[in-house]
Amino acid sequence: MARPLVKAILQPTAASTRLVLATLPYPTPAEGDYVIKVQAVAPCKDERGWEQADPHFFTKPRDRVPCIEGSGTVVSAPSGSSTLAPGSDVFFMLDAGVTGALRQYAEVAASGVSLKPSSLSFSQAAAVPLSAVTAWQGLFEHGPLDPTAVQDGDAAARDRARHANKAIRVLVAGAAGGVGSWAVKLAAAAGATVLGVARPAKSELVRSFGAVEAVDYAGAEALSGHHKGVDLVLDTVGGKDGMRQLWGAVKDDGLFLEVGDGNPDSVRPPGKKADSKWYLVHTDADQLQAISRLIDTDGLRPLVDEVYPFEKFEAAFEKVDGGTTRGKVVITVN
């Protein structure tokens, strides 16, 4: 018996920037996958060019459906799933090299699914997973902050972790962006002292996320002056010019972290002893669940620029790729 068809948005070829409305067969989940009725997704800037730029991430057969984060309702769950039964409202993220979620139903690996924060709408929740998990991994997995400070569990242990984190100074570049805004919020929630790098027009916004100070991108002299004692630089923007400025901010026993595949060592100043590394995000359901809890208990909120209906997908991608958004763009699906 033929599987029913579902509406989807397709990128015809890796080289195409045009997206088209199409139909695909209802998902057949692999072992360990959920099938989710997709309610909303959030496109990423320039994602239509990812396969051409990094083809080694796209070696498995797939349909070229964009969007690797979203929210929805579980239709079917893998055997042994105890917390996410059919009917559960969830938010999720996918690896870049699989069929994306801009379709009515999507199969999603268990490693990328968690209960949706009850305090968020589906549209708000769709804007969270990729940016928030990327920020979490920079601060707590690769960086020096103790995640106990923001995890459910023993209150005394959380207080001890927050006290330890209080001594850590974090500088977030791109603090008004998707990943950067979550890095500021999560680091501040964990007790760290946070400084944000953003354009002057967004200084107040960055402070509202929890930064004690907002620094102009052009302030290279300030970065190499009174911010020299920063323990962690988390650069969510990239680019050699920006990295050169940021190197001046990290102390010699600190860490320079770059999101993505930029290499801070390529512009390391002579004699600078700080560690540096770059990283790519990976799916982690436990981290996503911790973020969900924080959203509900601490009132953290995503920044959503605009919400588009499914049929306006072209306008949504144009808005994202225009680079002038203030927060995430979301597309509703079902």
Determine the pLDDT at residue 225. Answer: 58
**Tens-digit pLDDT profile for residues 4-32:** 999 999 999 999 999 999 999 999 999 99
249, 180, 115, 317 alpha-carbon torsion, rounded to 10°: -150
Phi, then psi, of 221 in degrees rounded to 5: -65, -40
CATH of domain 5-128+303-332: 3.90.180.10
Distance CA 27, CA 96 (A): 18
The predicted pLDDT at position 241 comes to 86
pLDDT confidence of residue 238: 87
Domain ranges of the chain: 5-128+303-332, 132-279
The pTM for the full model equals: 0.95
Residue 208 has pLDDT above 70, yes or no: yes
Domain covering 132-279 in this structure, CATH number? 3.40.50.720
Residue type, position 208, single letter: S
pLDDT per residue as tens digits for the range 70-122: 999 999 999 877 789 999 999 999 999 999 999 999 999 999 999 999 999 99
Q: What percent of the chain has pLDDT over 70?
A: 96
pLDDT, tens digit (0-9, with 9 covering 90-100), for 225-271: 555 679 999 999 988 888 888 888 899 899 999 998 788 989 998 98
